[in-house]
Chains A and B, each alone.
Chain A
């Protein structure tokens, strides 16, 4: 939606939000689980101002960030290794592919046994989630590096290691970053999911607590907060990405797979 242009869609959203507010205020939906939008927003501001939510958000973001960083680095390294040294791919790809289709929440129970309920377990779960999209995109990126660039490197006598570092890696970067952007969205969700299932930390645990306590306004406030957070993280990442690889966009290319 372009700013300043009020379309039918804007009115639809406004009408739905008004319906939400009215249906709760006028008891059309008479349920303690259906608080008015204004009550939800009040709860959101109150929980932020009272200092209850900020440390929880901080904890969740820290686990997300640590896991994302670890998983992304692993994804790029393994992706480069698989492409540049095909032996590693032949030996290890099946093991990786056997892990990939396991739905993430299901690895949490066994990881709890090995790593406990706290940060190490959750960071590992996030890292595991982030690993796969980055790996896939990195490998696509290496495959897309122009053969010309590699041949030119060979002409100028660039050795395999320097070729990997100075030709393949920069050319792969846009693809890897596109993978990290996908991983970023998943990381926040998975960090929250891990908190919902195990342990007593973070915004995910708070969400489940509020459900058990029957505090619906706080529960919806948490969901709004998570949505805003996810949206802001994605926007922020896209901005950083444009900065980091502006030359790529200047060439008019797109790395979305």
Chain B
């Protein structure tokens, strides 16, 4: 969307915030539930200007990135292997189907027992949730490659590596990236959830901790930071996706 078309909507958002400010001032909403947005903005400014926001943000970002890249690598690797080789498909398909329906967020408690409450546990849980959408999409993309094209590659004497890199993966890329886009959102969810449950640090922990200690301005300020982070990561990925798929006309 261009800025011109965004403007009326952003105006509405501003109106909503202004209304909340007024409603809290007039006592229509209790301050114990929602501090005035201006007070939250003050705290937010303080966090931003002192650089206090950076360590928790980076610690959450680290989990998201580490898990996202690990999970994507596993998903793309295994998905490609299963898509190319029927033997690999037969070997792994039942296992994948068995693990896939397990809600990954429910695995956080047992992971805490085995890996403790440090980054290892959090990154593992993010990796797990990222892997499956990427794997399934990669598989779908690789299996969807035109047989005629594969035969042509063989006719021209292309090796497996060459065919993979120059034909199969580019053809599967739109599917792979669509899976990664879904996984990015899930990675954020699992990072925040495992921070909340492990209770050590990061944006998820801070939001929950500030609520429990009734520091609501801080809670909302951290929530805004998290929301902006989500928005940024998502927008960056969409841009990168469009770049990578430049040949596709939308």
A-side interface residues toward B, CB under 8 Å?
Answer: 1, 7-10, 12-13, 16, 33, 90-95, 98-99, 101-110, 112-114, 188-189, 192-193, 196-197, 204, 207-208, 210-211, 216, 219-220, 222-223, 226-228, 230-231, 234
Contacts and interface: CB of A to CB of B under 8 A. Distances in A.
Interface string B201-231: 0011001101110001001100100110011
**Interface of B (DSSP majority class):** helix
B236 to A, nearest CB: 11
Contact of B16 (A95, A109, A110, A234): A95
Contact of B93 (A1, A90, A91, A108): A1
A207 B9 CA distance: 42
B235 to A, nearest CB: 9
B107 interface: yes
Interface string B164-193: 000000000000000000000100110111
B94 interface: yes
Contacts of A13: 94-95, 98
B106 A192 contact: yes
Contact of A102 (B33, B197, B210, B227): B227
B204 A105 contact: yes
13 contacts: A12-B91, A94-B9, A95-B13, A102-B230, A103-B188, A113-B32, A192-B106, A196-B193, A196-B197, A208-B109, A220-B110, A223-B103, A223-B110
Nearest to B13: A95
B109 A114 contact: no
A95 B105 contact: no
Interface of B: 1, 5-6, 8-10, 12-13, 16, 32-34, 87, 90-95, 97-98, 101-110, 112-114, 185, 188-189, 191-193, 196-197, 203-204, 207-208, 210-212, 216, 219-220, 223, 226-227, 230-231, 233-234
Contact of A110 (B90, B101, B114, B223): B223
Given A90-B9, A93-B9, A231-B101, A113 B110 contact: no
Nearest to A235: B101
Contacts of A223: 102-103, 106-107, 110
Contacts of B204: 103, 105-106
**Interface of A (DSSP majority class):** helix
A230 B101 contact: yes
A112 B106 contact: no
B110 A227 contact: no
